[in-house]
A and B are shown apart, each in its own frame.
Chain A
């Protein structure tokens, strides 16, 4: 895990744009980083399934079916799908819960940092997989999560169940589709035999250019 990138992303989540934190906040970040590293426990589970793209933006796999224009576009030219779930574990939530009651300033930093960490963890995994697949002449698309664009949030349920994510990595879902541990990611990644390097990933791929958190 790249600490520098985690720190940069943490600051972005906290509303810093180009400014550097003062020494007091820099020290707080370090303190949080140390505590959080002890508390997190990253796990993931993944599964490769066959994929059919049907009419009207239909996406059909053995784990879920959905209609989504944005995901269909993302998956154009793909015939298989990697489905995965990853989590930083409940330790991060326990820390946040503790500091919410006794030191709010630390709670907000830890919550931003844990979010940055799980993203970084997923980026690392995705890079590894990309490399692995490339060797076999297959190409991975950027990851796409339920709730992005018009990919229905309801798919969360079937994804998590199909991956047995509860049993395997302790990822649970509330009735209102909130993931717990909260620092968790579920996503799908299209697999294609055609390279598609022109894809932009993450924040930059989003159409909303006036977002105050936008990375540039």
Chain B
């Protein structure tokens, strides 16, 4: 019988630890345990047999660290051979034990973490991780594994890569367990609920927890997992907490105590039980004795609509949530310009700004006719999830962009959108099935937008039932009730509101709405938007797509929650409005504060005051004049003081930030007059291949930008070829390279070598902790910059000489 059929009929038992048992048999510290599959197959097989005889239903192959990073086939065995040998050992043990006991166990291919951190934090690319796991999964399936257990993952992103690798390369059942700390967090900061959302979205067959903790410390986390999950739950704890005794690791509870705790796990609702570090056949035997007769608790389907980021999950329930709509070029001149110029900084600032204003999810739409949307979408999602911990709503009608974003997204995303057209459902639902997600479904189809709520409700039903064919449940669909502007359709609002209400009451579904559409073509849109928003909330709107910068919308939201009994003791309302005096905006700076000039504000790094000062100046003065008279001298003064050692790095950067904020205002003004500020020159900046410390390069970027240079920031871990290609294609005069480690200076040298060969007109400036003037000379750089200001100086000299 297949393992999937057996789940839920009885408690299923995994095996226990391997490492310490192999050490008892002579495995040395630092020796790779997987090599024993080939060197000592009889010992590995015996270990499996011991577990099978103790009552394990599933034995894990000895392949925890078997991947091509450790077994590359050159310096050691090939990963495929290691995996094959491991599966054969486990299979042999299963056959032997079956003869003895009459009971045939299953072989689970064991996959542990790669030992590398994924990009952007580490140096392993997401797709490379997928391929590494895929290779192991394929080899395991070919060798005859019955299922795959991905375990001890402490990073949800790596887990996602492993699940995709397993599912894209085999048809085997996939089980997934993650490792949490005592606070219930993954090492990367995610919580148990977000891990469940991610794994259920990826449609694993069972999920749970292993390693890190003993059963006692796991209990609270197991409880959370059971409350969130609608799939079978696995619990594989360590034998308690470890401590060191005479150089040996011992655990704080014995097999009896372990079994007692595991019985409780079964009674709480776990379906699969086993052990991890420090557990032995004895632990498993005693656990089986206590738990074998327990009937697994039936799994209840959790009717929770949940999206997640790498850090947490957001539930879309009776308490409505806000989706920030600002990352969208429609009608936004500056956003369009940012997209065309590849300026991610602008998008990130929009994201951070909306988070600070209190949205729960960020909509991301980067569709512009003249750009490569799939590429841009992938880049935007990568950057946003590197900086923010909010779940994202992937908003595009380009299916390639949608898939690429869903694939690299670190969590369970929201997707915008599908609709009732066959073509749309056929394209979007397979993606949701594969990658997981909550999808916005527009209540329209081949016949357009129904004029009546009845028509929209019918489409909603159709969408639900088509989604069900893909195994996508109603809870993972948000019906967009669609509001047409009341300026052209006087019943636009009424119909949308009725649809919201009926989806909630008749279909038991969740809803969404782009709220401000209601007021297209009307004056003072904010007035009507906020009134309509309150009405929509009252009629059951679950996820409101809005601009959180619109004060009226936020007022409606916080008021509604207080009035609808969703804000206990009006806590959120009070904490938001409690400190404000009578609604009037804070007036001009209190009298007595001396008014500083723009230059002073910039030099002192006073951002808000600099913005105020530049606003006043812009009313009467020419933007270029302001730059020449106030901004540049202020930056120069700060630079001189920095070099003299009387102004420190954080102050220099605060000055740069104040200047940037003021420049933004100046740019706006010039843009509105149809002028643009001329750039002094274009400079490539890159942290060299192999180096992932970015901070030095980023300091230089901030400073150069303030001196009106256009910076092409290639990021970190940049291959020499990319630098050269960009320099040639963009005809770049100056390249700045950063390297922090002695181990990465060689790739700096290589980059310079390739530049000399293919782009001899380029000047190269270098910087980084391990470099010196002399060292920079040896690797062929034109200039060594000891700090950020030195790079500004070099650029100023170079480009002004060029002018002459």
Contacts and interface: CB of A to CB of B under 8 A. Distances in A.
Interface of A: 14-16, 21-22, 24-25, 28, 41, 46-49, 62-64, 89-91, 93-94, 96-98, 100-105, 107-109, 111, 153, 158, 161-162, 166-167, 169-170, 172-178, 180-182
A153 to B, nearest CB: 7
Given A97-B694, A178-B123, 8 more contacts: A14-B650, A16-B648, A24-B651, A62-B28, A93-B121, A96-B695, A107-B695, A170-B188
Contact of B121 (A90, A102, A162): A90
A109 B650 contact: yes
A164 to B, nearest CB: 8
A14 B30 contact: no
Contacts of A91: 189
A105 B653 contact: yes
B386 to A, nearest CB: 6
B386 A97 contact: yes
A28 B652 CA distance: 13
A32 B132 CA distance: 38
Interface in B489-544: none
**In terms of DSSP, what is the predominant structure of the interface of chain B?**
loop
Interface in B175-233: 181, 183, 185, 187-189, 211
A216 B714 CA distance: 39
B255 interface: no
B702 interface: yes
B657 interface: yes
A167 B65 CA distance: 11
Contacts of B656: 104-105
B742 A14 contact: no
B154 interface: yes
Contacts of A28: 650, 654
Interface residues of B, number: 57
B247 interface: yes
Contact of A102 (B154, B183, B349): B349
A74 B452 CA distance: 83
Interface string B578-608: 0000000000000000000000000011000
B478 to A, nearest CB: 28
5 contacts: A14-B648, A25-B651, A46-B244, A89-B187, A104-B699
Interface in B344-389: 344-345, 348-349, 352, 383, 386-388
Contact of B698 (A49, A93, A107): A107
B187 A90 contact: yes
Given A108-B649, A176-B741, A180-B121, A63 B699 contact: no
B457 interface: no
A175 B690 contact: yes
Contact of B123 (A16, A167, A174): A174
B115 interface: yes
Contact of A174 (B345, B645, B690): B690
Contacts of B244: 46-48
Contact of B690 (A41, A169, A176): A176
Nearest to B658: A105
A68 B741 CA distance: 20
A97 B188 CA distance: 14
A119 to B, nearest CB: 16
A103 B654 CA distance: 8
B743 A153 contact: yes
Nearest to A90: B188
B116 interface: yes
B262 to A, nearest CB: 22
B692 A174 contact: yes
Given A170-B187, A174-B692, A105 B648 contact: no
Contacts of B742: 153
B189 A90 contact: yes
Contacts of A169: 187
Interface in B104-128: 112-113, 115-117, 120-123
A103 B742 CA distance: 28
Contact of B30 (A15, A162, A166): A162
B456 interface: no
B152 interface: yes
A94 to B, nearest CB: 7
B672 to A, nearest CB: 25
A133 to B, nearest CB: 13
Contacts of B693: 178, 182
A99 B304 CA distance: 34
B654 A105 contact: yes
Contact of A24 (B654, B695, B699): B654
B691 interface: yes
A172 B649 contact: no
B29 interface: yes
B692 A178 contact: yes
A93 to B, nearest CB: 6
Nearest to A170: B187
Nearest to A11: B648
Contacts of B699: 104, 108
B388 A98 contact: yes
Contacts of A175: 123, 690
A122 B120 CA distance: 27
A177 B741 contact: yes
Contact of A62 (B30, B383, B645, B691): B30
A158 B31 CA distance: 10
A64 B645 CA distance: 44
- Give the one of B28, B648, B694, B742 with max A CB within 10 A: B648
A63 B349 CA distance: 47
Given A62-B29, A62-B30, A102-B348, A47 B247 contact: yes
